Structure 1
Amino acid sequence: MSQKSIDECVRLSLASYFKDLDGIEPAGMYEMMVRVVEKPLLEVVMAQADQNQSRAAAWLGLNRNTLRKKLLDHRLME
């Protein structure tokens, strides 16, 4: 079974996104992409780190306070 890299998946998804726009010009793509990639990244890393924020922050290369803010922003913690 062939496995696609993350960047290949992103390229294919973006190509499909532009096709679906059918000539309409997009707006705010950078923020949209950051949000749609960041949330699942945080979910998976937190699960793999057994919800340990210090460990997850280290894996992500983030300050723990930055991770907490992102988790709150994505409503992944209260």
Structure 2
Amino acid sequence: MSKESIEDVVKKSLEKYFRDLGEQLPTNVYDMVLATVEKPVFETVMARAEGNQSQAAEILGINRNTLRKKLQQHGLL
């Protein structure tokens, strides 16, 4: 059984998104992708860190204050 990389899954999802748009011109794709991907990343890492924000920030490679801001933005606090 071959496993798809995250990159492959994102690429296939974007290709489907563009196909589904048909003739419509896509806009704000970058922001849409980041917003779509960020929340599950934070949820998964916070679960892995068992709610420890310092550990989650270290796993993510970001500042703890940045993590708190992102958690608040996504309604995860």
The TM tier, using the shorter chain, reads: over 0.9
Answer yes or no: is 1:22 the counterpart of 2:22. Answer: yes
The alignment of Structure 1 onto Structure 2 pairs a total of residues equal to 77
Q: Counterpart in 1 of 2:4?
A: 4
Letter in 1 for 2:51: Q
Letter in 1 for 2:2: S
Please, what is the CA RMSD of the aligned residues?
0.5
Q: Post-superposition, which runs of at least 4 consecutive aligned residues in structure 1 deviate over 3 A?
A: none
Structure 1 residues 1-78: aligned runs within 5 Å: 1-77=1-77
Letter in 2 for 1:10: V
% same residue: 53
Letter in 1 for 2:56: A
Normalised to the residue count of structure 1, the TM-score between the two structures is: 0.96
